[in-house]
Amino acid sequence: MVAEDPSSAESSASCEIRIVNEISEMARVADLVDRFGAEHGLSNEVIVALNVSLDEILNNIICYAYEDAEPHDITVRLQLRRESVEAVVEDDGKPFDPLAVATPRPRSAEREGGVGLHFVRSLTDQVKYTRRDGINQFWFMKKLTR
């Protein structure tokens, strides 16, 4: 669902989706990004940047953030601004600042982590991690391109 918010001058459109921590759920996020991108005429470059970045962040959370076997909610919000699009991912997994991880250059099939965050940093214009009230919040921004 893409909700228009005419009451706000700054935010022209936003949408939100909640998934559980299973890899198969991630396709729903990619579908939402594709739909959001099409409805708002985002360039392919921006849509790919959003999709790859969210894939890396969500994969990381689902694979490494939880120490129990219980289902957990992960929330993804997209917000279209005049000259950028912002995404926020929130999870209640263990505290983890992905930005504190070094980003090695990819060289082999055995390499884990690292490469994914290198994609996020390279494809976006700004990234930010905060931990508050037991929630990890990863925010990133991508400037709009034609």
Partner 1 sequence: MKLVEAVSDDVTIVEAYGRLDSTTAKEFGERLMSLVHSGRSSIVLDLKNIAYISSAGFRALLIAKKATAEREGKLALCGVIGEVKRLFDIGAFTEEFLICPTQADGIGKLRQ
Which residues are near partner 1 by CB under 8 A? 23-24, 26-27, 30, 44-45, 48, 51-52, 55-56, 58-59, 105-109, 115-116, 118-119, 122-123
Least Å distance, CB 60 to partner 1, is 10
The DSSP code sequence of 49-93 is HHHHHHHHHHHHHHHHS-SSSS--EEEEEEEE-SSEEEEEEEE-S
Which CB, 4 or 17, lies closer to partner 1? 17
CB of 83 to partner 1, least distance (A): 20
Q: Quick one: 115 or 127, whose CB is closer to partner 1?
A: 115
Residue whose CB is less far from partner 1, 5 or 125: 125
- What DSSP line would sit under 89-131, residue for residue? EEE-SS---GGGS--PPP--TT--STHHHHHHHHH-SEEEEEE
Shortest spacing between CB 23 and partner 1, in angstroms: 5
